[in-house]
């Protein structure tokens, strides 16, 4: 396999991994953001921002690692995926840490979980 084909394959696999994570997180993230932001418009923006981050960070890692000519393509693609998955992990952790910080602030401001308050008032 040529280095160019290995590089493109690694980029494609990185993109697929990113999109899979976005699909898994899409609905729960939007529901959480609607609660934190107060309306769908704001939540939609921050969800889109998070999705872009979750796609671009791994692609940046995958773009950074270029296969070497003459090396085994499988190992070169795996090294490229290592960088991409590291970027994906970083992005997921960054989004999670930011959300955890805002959830804690939201709960302090609103005196606990909004769901518990709405269930008690029903």
CA distance 86 to 67: 17
Residue 121 placed within a domain: no
Range(s) of the domain holding residue 20: 3-92
Residue 16 placed within a domain: yes
CA distance 18 to 83: 13
Q: Which residues contact 24 (CB under 8 A, 6 or more apart)?
A: none
pLDDT digits (tens, 9 = 90+) for 37-62: 989 999 999 999 999 999 999 999 99
- pLDDT tens string, the chain, 122 residues long: the values are 788 888 899 999 999 999 999 999 999 999 999 999 989 999 999 999 999 999 999 999 999 888 777 778 888 888 899 989 999 999 999 999 999 998 888 888 887 655 554 444 44
Number of structural domains the chain divides into: 1
Task: Give percent of the chain above pLDDT 90.
Answer: 58
Residue 98 placed within a domain: no
**Do 84 and 62 meet the contact criterion of CB atoms below 8 Å apart?**
yes
């Amino acid at each position: 396999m040529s280095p160019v084909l290995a590089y493109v394959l690694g980029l494609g696999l990185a993109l697929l991994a990113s999109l899979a994570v976005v699909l898994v997180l899409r609905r729960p993230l939007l529901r959480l953001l609607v609660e934190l932001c107060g309306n769908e418009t704001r939540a939609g923006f921050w969800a889109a921002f998070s999705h872009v981050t979750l796609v671009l960070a791994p692609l940046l890692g995958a773009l950074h690692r270029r296969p070497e000519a003459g090396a085994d393509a499988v190992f070169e693609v795996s090294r490229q995926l290592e960088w991409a998955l590291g970027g994906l992990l970083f992005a997921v952790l960054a989004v999670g840490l930011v959300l955890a910080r805002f959830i804690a602030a939201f709960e302090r401001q609103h005196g606990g979980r909004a769901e518990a308050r709405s269930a008690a008032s029903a």
